[in-house]
């Protein structure tokens, strides 16, 4: 069992820190900023052993250079398909990642969509999915395509329902607002919104989320459901015979009218 903790960065990023329970060696995922990571390591008396990166955006990579300078020689894992300075261990679909001093092994998944070369790390019942899937939402399409993103999310949806999803942003309440535009009658959604709001009021993160809950409340994982298809068709003013078309309409609907 791994100990996984969020390090808050910028206004709404999470940098995930992994270690064995009580372990002294840590790895971080998507360090967009070095300062909160260095402070956390110092406070907890930890040594940084590895950096994992999911995609090239600055809010996920901006701290790599300084962390490497402070911890020379540690491996930096990241997508082979994106140009990211500092990466020493380029990864592709199916590669395995073992981290020194941390008892877990991760399998690399290509999850294009948010960016064309985005990867995720799957292992120990957890998926580190960067900006691909968010709690109750998903990433915007920047470098990849809507078709890619839909396929990546479908793949995530097929994982065991107790998989913990470690995304990189605290967007949950905002995403739940849009989810209720799509499915105003989904009772799970209103329940979830109350739970997550209480969590935020206590100052707690709403992530990781669990796949089972996402399948019940995340419109981007629910494009095969009749309710979601009907809402998308109403919005688009035409019939949408495939899940892919429903997905594209829901994603663009949110982009253009919600945020
Ligand atoms: Zn991003
Ligand atoms: Fe991001």
pLDDT band at 147, cuts 50/70/90?
very high
Q: Is the peptide bond before 208 cis (omega within 30 degrees of 0)?
A: yes
**Residue range 237-259: mean pLDDT, rounded:** 97
Give the distance from CA 119 to its chain's centroid. 10
- Which of 148, 194, 155 lies closest to 172 in space, CA to CA? 194
For residue 64, report the distance from its CA to the centre of ligand 1, in Å.
Answer: 15
Report the CATH number of the 3-172+186-219 domain. 3.60.15.10
> Residue 253 corresponds to which tokens in the numbers above?
């609907």
Structure confidence at residue 259 as a pLDDT band (50, 70, 90): confident
Q: How far is CA 134 from the centre of its chain?
A: 5
Cα(52) to centroid(ligand 2), Å: 14
Instruction: Compute the distance between CA of residue 227 and CA of residue 145 in angstroms, rounded to an integer.
Output: 24
- Asked if 167 and 207 touch (Cβ cutoff 8 Å), the reply is yes
The sign one gets for the Cα dihedral 150, 152, 155, 157 is negative
Q: Quick check: 103 and 96 in contact, CB under 8 A?
A: no
C-alpha of residue 237 to centroid of ligand 1, in Å:
31
Percentage above 90 pLDDT, the chain:
99
Confidence bin at 1 (pLDDT 50/70/90): confident
CA of 13 to the centre of ligand 2 (A): 7
Rounded Cα distance between 244 and 147, Å, is: 7
Of the listed ligands, the closest to the CA of 15 is 2
Going by pLDDT thresholds of 50, 70 and 90, the confidence category of residue 126 is very high
Instruction: Tell how far the Cα of 132 is from the centroid of ligand 2, in angstroms.
Output: 9
Nearest-5° angle of CA 113, CA 60, CA 2?
A: 95
Which ligand does the CA of 55 lie closest to? 1
Report the alpha-carbon distance of residue 55 to residue 83 in Å, rounded.
9
Whether the pLDDT of residue 55 is over 90: the answer is yes
- pLDDT score recorded for residue 39: 98
The pLDDT of residue 132 is 98
Least Cα distance to 164 among 222, 216, 212, 109 occurs for 212
How far apart are the C-alpha atoms of 80 and 117, rounded to whole Å? Answer: 8
* Ligand in closest contact with the CA of 82: 1
166 in Cβ contact with 205 (< 8 Å):
no
Ligand located closest to 10 CA: 2
Q: Where are the domains of the chain?
A: 3-172+186-219
């Amino acid at each position: 069992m791994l100990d996984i903790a969020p390090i808050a960065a910028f206004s709404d990023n999470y940098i995930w820190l992994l270690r064995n329970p009580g372990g002294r060696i840590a790895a971080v995922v998507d360090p967009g900023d070095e300062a909160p990571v260095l402070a956390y390591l110092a406070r907890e008396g930890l040594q940084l052993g590895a950096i994992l990166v999911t995609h090239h955006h600055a809010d996920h990579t901006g701290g790599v250079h300084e962390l490497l300078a402070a911890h020379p020689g540690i491996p930096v894992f990241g997508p082979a398909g994106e140009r990211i300075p500092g990466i020493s261990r380029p990864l592709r679909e199916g590669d395995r990642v073992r981290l020194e001093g941390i008892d877990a092994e991760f399998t690399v998944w290509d999850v294009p969509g948010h960016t064309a070369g985005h990867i995720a790390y799957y292992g120990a019942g957890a998926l580190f999915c960067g900006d691909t899937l968010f709690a109750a939402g998903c990433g915007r399409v920047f470098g990849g395509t809507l078709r890619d993103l839909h396929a990546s999310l479908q793949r995530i949806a097929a994982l065991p329902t107790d998989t913990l999803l470690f995304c990189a942003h605290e967007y949950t309440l905002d995403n739940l607002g849009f989810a209720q535009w799509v499915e105003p009658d989904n009772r799970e959604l209103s329940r979830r919104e109350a739970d997550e709001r209480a969590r935020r009021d206590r100052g707690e993160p709403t992530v990781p989320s669990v796949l089972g809950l996402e399948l019940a409340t995340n419109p981007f994982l629910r494009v095969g459901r009749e309710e979601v298809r009907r809402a998308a068709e109403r919005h688009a003013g035409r019939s949408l015979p495939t899940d892919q078309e429903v997905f594209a309409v829901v994603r663009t609907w949110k982009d253009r009218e919600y945020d």
